[in-house]
Amino acid sequence: MMELDDIAIRRGGQTIVRGVSARLAPGQIHAVIGPNGTGKTTLLRAIFGELPLENGAIRLGERALGHGRKNRLVEWREDIAYMPQDTNADVALTVLEVVVLGRLGKLSLHIDDETLSLAMDRLTQAGIAHLAGRDIASLSGGQRQMVLFAQVLMRAPKVMLLDEPVSALDLKHQVSLLDVVRRETRANGWITLAVLHDLNLACQYADNLLVIADGALKVSGAPRHVVTPELIGETYGVTVDVLHDRRGNPVIQPVGNIHETTPENERMLA
């Protein structure tokens, strides 16, 4: 279990995230959603230890990260894997080498066959084993995103932090990657926290949603329990219909901007 206890995060002299408390259960996908610039990436970076806490604490088992605490980040990050949204790779490494680096803390001067085999298995899981020998700098943004995901899997973490992991992918690869995320999260009892901009993908794959707006946690819970037209309207400033698929998951259908309603739109909605 990971616990966020009333955390606040300050950047550039301004409090970006404040008063966030949540319990993130293992074996579940927790999706962070909300408007641009509201603190979603900041939250993930703080959990990884890249940004200091202004207030509160983050706990994972017997370990804790908190304001004023002299933290040993190497120990804190032992069980945490972080995939940032920036996939730029200005390094002279092959795809296979990048994935092997996921086990950096366990590598020696000699990379054994077991490690190489595991790296190829992770590339196969990500559907990009055919790219193993390619220079990562030569790949498209979407391909690099899949490589970094394979590197995260290579670490076999207890906590997986994914910042917009499908932003550069087409629909087929979005579904493929998130299928792997769900399968591995449940099979291994991982805690997965992912920032997702696609609300429908978040509703389809997340066990729990954390809705962040203006730097604060607006609401959290299972998608089918918390996603309403009112919540989306208040959070994003748009009018939507919330339908449900065959499994009961919410499907969000945009209607338009609530501030740009015309008489014709009003008649259509009446």
Reported confidence tier of residue 164, pLDDT bands at 50, 70, 90? very high
Read off the amino acid at residue 15.
T
- At residue 71, the pLDDT reads 54
Judged against a pLDDT cut of 50, whether residue 122 lies above it is answered with yes
Least confident of 8-12, 87-91, 106-110: 106-110
Half-sphere exposure of 136 (CA within 13 A, CB side): 22
Residue 81: closest CA among 44, 56, 53 = 44
Give CA–CA dist 42/110, Å, rounded: 37
Judged against a pLDDT cut of 70, whether residue 69 lies above it is answered with no
Report, as an integer, the average pLDDT of 121-134: 93
Mean pLDDT of the residues in the chain:
89
Is residue 177 a contact partner of residue 201, using CB atoms and an 8 Å limit? no
Is residue 18 a contact partner of residue 215, using CB atoms and an 8 Å limit? yes
Beta strand ranges found along 67-119 (DSSP E): 80-83
* pTM of the predicted protein model: 0.87
Reported confidence tier of residue 266, pLDDT bands at 50, 70, 90? low
Residue 253: closest CA among 266, 264, 262, 240 = 240
Query: What DSSP state is assigned to residue 78?
Result: G
Give CA–CA dist 187/189, Å, rounded: 6
Least confident of 87-101, 123-137, 148-162, 188-202: 87-101
Beta strand ranges found along the chain (DSSP E): 2-11, 14-24, 28-33, 53-60, 63-66, 80-83, 159-163, 191-195, 208-213, 216-221, 238-244, 250-257
Judged against a pLDDT cut of 70, whether residue 89 lies above it is answered with no
- At residue 12, the pLDDT reads 81
* Top-confidence residue, 90 or 168: 168
How do residues 183-213 score in pLDDT, each as one tens digit? 999 999 999 999 999 999 999 999 999 999 9
80-83 and 159-163 beta bridge pairing: parallel
Classify the C-alpha dihedral 148-120-132-105 as positive or negative.
positive
Reported confidence tier of residue 150, pLDDT bands at 50, 70, 90? very high
CA distances from 177 to 53, 107, 186, 201, 263 (A): 31, 26, 14, 11, 43
- At residue 262, the pLDDT reads 55
Judged against a pLDDT cut of 90, whether residue 46 lies above it is answered with yes
